[in-house]
Amino acid sequence: MFKREMKINFKSFVIWTSILIGLFLIVFLVYPSIINSENMEMMDEMMKMFPKEMLKAFNMDISSIDTAFGWLKTEGFVFVLLITGIYSGILGSNILLKEESDKTIEYLNSMPVKRKNIVINKILCGLVYIILMIAIIGIFNFIGLSLSGEFDKKSYILLSITPLFTEVVIFAICLFLSTFTHKTKKTLGISLGIVFASYFLNIISEMGESTEFLKYISIFTLADIRNVIVNVSINPVIIVLTIVITVIFMALTIIHYEKKELI
């Protein structure tokens, strides 16, 4: 069943990974010409015009965009986070529900397999693809950065791991939500909503003290890029929090799926 699951989800994995890689390929090809030109000075001037809060939201106050790594730390990771986030959300809401939406669950349910095992196989497949996507884009950018010049490798490696925390939690939450309906159409909007709403909450929370509390309800807080850039380490609390939230939602998924009417 796991093998079959991997096969079904392979195509969308390739498409989403290609989008990300294509995006960064363009950046690595174009960036050198931007850095070495006068445009950069102009960009710097422009940046100064932005309010501090805005720059903070994109980590531009602690990193500059005058190198490829600098860009990656600021805008680059926004793309990684959002695109892998959307992928994880769609994967989470589809992977289990697709059997019901396509009505193939009537077949699968009649096979000698426990419901719990159906869910576990789907979860494993989802996790493998999320990790694989983050690893591939991490390796690709590593090669790209190596070709573009010197950069802090430890800081980079830690940085490329950070999206994993957010994406695994998004996957787990969307998977759980998908057990409340029978049609994938319904969950798709909700899961994308969660990703975007959560992302904007995170941005707003970083703009000032009065909005800081919002970070506690944003999944993107788990991708603690600021901490990684400043301290070159991953906060252990984030790791524990990710594991706890993920395990809770996956357990809830299994419990709720056990009771679910499949038709």
256 binds other proteins (CB under 8 A): no
- Spatial neighbors of 12 by CB under 8 A, at least 6 apart, are 87, 90, 91
1 binds other proteins (CB under 8 A): yes
Q: Report the residue from 103, 153, 154, 183 that binds other proteins according to the rule CB under 8 A.
A: 103
CB-nearer residue toward other proteins: 9 or 205: 9
CB-nearer residue toward other proteins: 157 or 262: 262
Part of the chain binding other proteins (CB under 8 A), chosen from 110-118, 145-153, 197-205, 231-239: 110-118
> Is 123:3 a contact under the CB 8 Å cutoff?
no
Residues across the chain: 263
The rounded distance, in Å, linking the Cα atoms of 124 and 234 is 24
- Compute the CA torsion angle 33, 36, 42, 47 (nearest 10 deg): 90
185 binds other proteins (CB under 8 A): no
The rounded distance, in Å, linking the Cα atoms of 171 and 186 is 16
The rounded distance, in Å, linking the Cα atoms of 64 and 69 is 9
CB-nearer residue toward other proteins: 4 or 153: 4
The rounded distance, in Å, linking the Cα atoms of 203 and 56 is 9
CB-nearer residue toward other proteins: 116 or 154: 116
Q: Which DSSP category does 118 fall into?
A: H
115 binds other proteins (CB under 8 A): yes
Q: Report the residue from 106, 153, 237, 248 that binds other proteins according to the rule CB under 8 A.
A: 106
Q: Report the residue from 18, 46, 116, 149 that binds other proteins according to the rule CB under 8 A.
A: 116
Cα 26 to the center of its chain, rounded Å: 21
* DSSP helix/strand/coil, 96: coil
CB-nearer residue toward other proteins: 8 or 15: 8
150 binds other proteins (CB under 8 A): no
14 binds other proteins (CB under 8 A): no
Q: Report the residue from 33, 36, 110, 210 that binds other proteins according to the rule CB under 8 A.
A: 110
Cβ neighbours of 97 (radius 10 Å): 26
Site residues (vs other proteins, CB under 8 A)? 1, 4, 8, 102-107, 109-116, 258-259, 261-263
